[in-house]
Amino acid sequence: MKKILTSCLALLSIASQADEGMWQPNQLPEISQQLKQAGLKLDPNDLTNLTGFPMGAIVSLGGCTASFVSDKGLVATNHHCIYGSIQYNSSEENNLLRDGFLAKSFDEELQATPGSRIYVTEEINEVTEQVNAGLNDDMDGAERFKVIDQNRKALVSECEADDKYRCRVVNFHGGLQYFLFKQLTIRDVRLVHAPAMSVGKYGGDIDNWMWPRHTGDYGFYRAYVGKDGQPADYHEDNVPYEPKHYLKVNKASVEDGDYIMVLGYPGRTNRYRVASEVENQFTWTYPHAKTMREDIIDLIKSNSEPESDARIKYESTLASLANYAKNYGSMITSYQKGDMLARKQKLEADLAAWIKADSKRQAKYGDALTGLNKLIAQSQENQSRDLILGYLRYGALYSSANRLYRWSIEQELEDAVRKSGYQNRDKNRFVQGMKTISRRYDEVIDKAIMTKLLSDYAKLPADQRLASLDKFFAIDKGADQAKIAKQLDKMYAKSKLAEQEQRLAWMEKSAEDFADSKDPFIQLAVATYDDRKALEQSSEALSGEIQAYRPKFMEALIAYYKDKNLPVYADANSTLRITYGNVKGYSPQDGLWATPFTRLEGITAKNTGEVPFNASEKQLSLIANKEYGDYARPELGSVPVNYLGTLDITGGNSGSPTLNDKAEFVGLVFDGVYESIIGDWDYDPSLNRSIHVDVRYMLWVMEHLDGATNLIEEMDIVE
């Protein structure tokens, strides 16, 4: 297994396209020639040192990326990555989302959303043999899943013996390889600066994924630790963390054609999925998920006024729902216009023929694709039910009751065998999650969402529903939306789970206490637990079966690609990666060429005075008077706002620093163009473009609009 992957890495330096791929740090020496040709001036080997420069300055926020930009723990990331913390500290009377926030001193900085973390990767080690220890071909799916799960948890437990670290075992190539990631975990995170929404979210959902773009999508956190320099929970006596490395900020930024790279934690790509998965995802999953998200958005908006306390509580949720709804829509459009499915089908036919042509390959890989396809079809049998049950997580009281009851049950077991998410290592985050609900819950909205989802659930065929859930809401007796809504009215009126103290108190109670509870949402959690657990076990067993075939398929595909001299790189999986390319425009359609930079004047041109094109009078005046300060680029005749790059990115890369050829900070990547959204599944070098906020615009807003000169002085700015 390791021999095959090592051979494939050697292939990478020959076969890969210059801008395609999200590369693991240890792979960079293999593609050093391409990096140098693109314009990198550093030694590629320096980028493999996780604790050196610049890798030591790159951090994860657990969903977004960020970077240290001062020796006092100042962290730069996207506005939309700190959006939840801005929302958490906002109220109808003090709307930081609308007005922005700036701490002029350390003591003015605000606690981020409870549970916020900054993760600094310090070690990456391959653990494939340890994870697969004890597996054999006679195991069924449930047994296989259990062995792998227990082995992974044992490795994590050993790694986390020192509680300042958070560790993860992550699979690559569908389980062909496993790596253990060890990350220093900073638990005291504070909000330092966020521009007003009219800057940080200028263009809103209308401009999302679009070009030209004029969004100042940036913001700042600060990492804090105890006085001993070690990670600690939030405390007023904590001090700013002093990282070993931080990025210098290059005020000169970049020009057309310049080398750029992004170091970050991209979420998920699916470029090695089989044709049956692709077809189902684009013809069923995305359309239905898009509709579901749009329905929930409509419910939130129809049950809350703009800038009301209820709307503020759901602004972060709305942003996420809208982002993915638009993403799914563009995915569907791109899929319908392209030939990805046909190319996938041809690849699989060619792969099958290649396997069949050699008896040894036939013996080794003969059933890989057929076995995988059979299991994938099985996983799609109840997807309507699974989609609705999954979206029920937007019901805050429903989901918190389920999680609390599961917590009580898991606490009766030894920590090593508890479900991930319910172990001792998870308690602090669990508590913070229960606290966060208080700032993200409104009864009217929550009830409306639950009514809609349960009504959709009631329309499913009886054999796809859960008997216990049917009984609780009398769906088995024909309950309709009106009856479900009436029952929910009574449940919300009687439940105390909306109170933070009650939620936290339930964490200390036993499963027997839950069984005796009169709280209707607790009763619902208890009544449906066995059915929900059975679904979970069935899913795990199927996952275990897939874990026997997916690695085999990937091993065959990698060997086939090697034989055909084609590129191979692992799908993104929220682990540290590097992607590189150049500043460059593109042609989205015949007869059009999109230039790689936008300017301040584009903000004025788009401005309507209404959200989301509502630049402030001060900003419009500065632009009209050409008060560019030191941040204009002569060839543009203005301050650059956003620029395009050829980098291969995906969700999770948000907030990643954009670095120049010397690894200096020149902006933040925050989006991709409409035509490249399908890049999670398919890569097109002519259309794939990343969108970056230019460091010049960041500094211009900070100095001339927000007065954040204290942060400019704190950073190490060069030209």
Smallest CA-to-CA distance from 74 within 166, 184, 159, 186 is with 186
CA 626 to chain centre: 38
Q: How far is CA 252 from CA 535, 614, 692, in A?
A: 56, 28, 15
Residues serving a catalytic function are: 80, 217, 654
Burial of 60 (0-12, 13-18, 19+ CB in 10 A): buried
Half-sphere exposure at residue 455, Cβ-oriented, CA atoms within 13 angstroms:
17
Angstrom distance (rounded) from CA 209 to CA 299: 24
Report the alpha-carbon angle 399-419-147, nearest 5.
145
Cβ-Cβ contacts under 8 Å for 389 (sequence gap 6 or more): 457, 535
Element spanning 289, H or E: helix 286-302
Both structure tokens of 567? 């590129």
CA distance 296 to 407: 28
The answer for residues whose C-beta is within 8 angstroms of residue 492's C-beta and 6 or more apart is 397, 443, 446, 447, 498
The rounded distance, in Å, linking the Cα atoms of 470 and 474 is 6
Cis amide leading into 212 (omega within 30): yes
Which DSSP state fits 529? H
Q: φ and ψ at 224, to 5 degrees? A: -120, 150
What's phi and psi for 306, nearest 5 deg? -55, 135
Pull the structure tokens for residue 170: 């992550």
For 82, the token pair is 């700190």
